[in-house]
Amino acid sequence: MSAFSRGCFLRLRFASKTCHPLQTFSFKSAQPRLLSSSTILRAVKKSPVKQSTTTAKIAPIPSKIPVSSIPYQSFAASLAQKTYTTTLYEAPSHRWYIWTSYGAASFFAIYASYVIYVYMDAPEGVPVWVPYVFGGCGFAMAIFAARLTLNVAGLVKSINAIPKSVLMASKNPAIARSAAKGPDLTIEVELRKMFPIPFFPARKLYAEPSEIVIPHSLAPPAVVLSPSELRARERQEEARHKKELEYEQSHIMSAGLRHASRAFFTLFTNARRAWTREGFMDLKVKKRFYKMDVLGGYALDNGRAIDRLVTIKKNAR
């Protein structure tokens, strides 16, 4: 019995010695492992990361640019820096005006010649005062003929702004030599030929912008329109053109009469302009006057380009 009990005690003691490390491991593993108790986090806590406090410095942007730092360039200087000719004005066709003036002048010249030839030596039986009266009428007709003929003289065909570099590259040596001593910008005024004679070039005048004078501004007064008003005006123009085209296409038989009516109206309008010189403005170039048509044609920037270059003086004459 005692031997049996000693054997059991030894077995229990041996079992307890062999199981002790297992119990110790399981006990330690059973403890709660808080995040704050980890060695890695403790090391992190001991050496905290330093945040960078340096920021990029941005240069202050000036709210306003000083006016003195902006280089000023006139319109004439900007045109002088170009490498090509700038068209400032292009006159409309004066075919009907020239034909009307020459036709009326021819009629008055023929009538004056006939009256002077017939009544200079009056036949017998004619009162004494008749040759003087008809002589005066013939003289007046000759004056009318001369005035109508001079309507065609001095008509401006085009106005161009030519830089100095373009003139110096001209094939004409005289123009190139004069351009070398001239200004940076030259205004070329081309006149219309009085007679359509072939192989004779049109006359051209060259002057500085300050040597050209006009009596009033070419550009009309500025009218400020809202976007809605501009769109409404464009719609009205489109509707008008569409209506005219539809009428032209639907009335083909009477198209010839309409075109003839427009031609006669143009003829009478130019006849009136031949007598009254309506729609022509005096253009003074180097103390001489020429006629510039302002009722049609093309003008750069609606005429504002010429206004910015030349001199505007009311009493130019």
| C-alpha–C-alpha distance, residues 238 and 15, integer Å | 113
Rounded Cα–Cα distance for residues 98 and 177 (Å)? 36
pLDDT of residue 72: 62
| The two three-digit tokens of residue 117, written as one number | 């030839």
Neighbours of 112 (CB within 10 A): 21
Q: Is the pLDDT of residue 35 over 50?
A: no
Supply the pLDDT for residue 147: 92
Poorest-pLDDT segment among 175-179, 192-196, 234-238 = 175-179
Q: Average pLDDT in the 156-185 region?
A: 86
To 10 degrees, the CA torsion angle through 230, 231, 234, 240?
A: -120
Q: How many residues does the chain have?
A: 317
Q: What is the mean pLDDT of the chain?
A: 79
Q: Are 104 and 148 in contact (CB under 8 A)?
A: yes
DSSP 235-279: HHHHHHHHHHHHHHHH--TTHHHHHHHHHHHHHHHHHHHHHH-TT
**In this model, does residue 21 exceed pLDDT 80?**
no
Which pLDDT score, from 0 to 100, does residue 170 have?
A: 80
pTM value is 0.68
Q: How confident is the model at residue 60 (pLDDT cuts 50, 70, 90)?
A: low
Return the higher-pLDDT residue of 20 and 182: 182
| Cα gap 176→188, rounded to integer Å | 14
| Residues 132-159, mean pLDDT to the nearest whole number | 91
The reported pLDDT for the residue numbered 116 is: 85
- What letter would DSSP give residue 314? S
pLDDT score, position 13: 46
pLDDT in tens, 246-297: 988 888 888 888 889 988 888 888 889 988 888 999 999 998 999 999 988 8
pLDDT at 234 over 70: yes
Who contacts 193 (Cβ-Cβ below 8 Å, separation ≥6)? Answer: 200, 202, 203
